[in-house]
Every structure is written in structure tokens, then in C-alpha cells.
Amino acid sequence: MPGARLSALNRRVAMYPGTPEAPLQTPGALTPARLRRAKELMLHSPLSIIEIAAVCNLTRSHFSRAFKVNTGLSPQAWRLLARMEKAKRLLATEAPITHVSLECGFCDQAHFTRAFSRLVGQPPKAWRQAQTLS
């Protein structure tokens, strides 16, 4: 409920002239700039979560808690889901599955296939074939 109270408070504050236009931040959350930077690093760099936390000037545990407040997911889960979304976009092309796995940050195709199957419910090749039939 803290989020609902914060939203209500933001609406009340906005009714008064001369108040800041920027909404109040959810307690324990990352600033928008830190969240944007962390997501950018998770998507486009091989840095570990500990290294990304250090870039944000936070400990790993504080960063993980704050990231979850913002996104509802742990940094690891968010990164994996983002990789899978990228993989789906690449699988919609004719790129080889090996290329897709490497482009999405997986060490090899077997690891990618296991992760994709676990999250999507079918292997990449079957998913690609199902998409071309639809």
C-alpha cells in the first residue's frame, strides 16, 4: 500500500500552486536516472549485478532490493526476461539460433535453449516454427 499512499499524496501536492512538478519517489527505490543506467548496463554489457550495483554506488543487496521496488523483479530475473524478449525478436528473423544465443549474452546454444525452454515453454526452434505458422 505504500505505493497507493504515495500516488494519493502526489495528487494532493499537485493541486497546490508553486509545488514541485516532479512526483515524490517511492521509498527504497532507485532514482529514475540510476534505474535507466542499470537497465542499460544489464542489456548492453557483460557486467555482473555486483558491478552494476557499484556503478550505481550501492551495495549488491541494496541495489537488488531497490531494483525490485522499481520493477517488481530481481535484477537477475529482469535481465533474463529482457534477454528472452531480445531473443524472440531475433528469432523472428532468419538469424541462426547459435547467433541469437550469443547476441543475447549466452555462452552457448545449449544454455540458451535450456533457458528459453524453461521460460517460454518450448525450444527456440519450435517457437520460431510456431511463429512462422501464425
Question: pLDDT per position in the chain (134 positions), as tens?
Answer: 455 655 554 555 455 555 444 444 567 789 999 999 999 999 999 899 999 999 999 999 999 999 999 999 999 999 999 999 999 999 999 999 999 999 999 999 999 999 999 999 999 999 999 998 87
What's the pLDDT score for residue 14?
52
Flag whether 65 is in a domain. yes
What's the pLDDT score for residue 133?
85
Flag whether 60 is in a domain. yes
63 and 103 share one domain: no
Residues with Cβ within 8 Å of 55's Cβ and at least 6 positions away in sequence, in order, are 37, 38, 41, 47
Residues with Cβ within 8 Å of 41's Cβ and at least 6 positions away in sequence, in order, are 47, 52, 55
Distance CA 29, CA 26 (A): 6
18 and 57 share one domain: yes
Segments forming the whole domain that contains residue 34: 12-72
99 and 68 share one domain: no
What's the total number of domains in the chain?
Answer: 2
What CATH number corresponds to the domain at position 125? Answer: 1.10.10.60
88 and 42 share one domain: no
Flag whether 36 is in a domain. yes
**Residue 52 buriedness (CB in 10 A; 0-12 / 13-18 / 19+):** buried
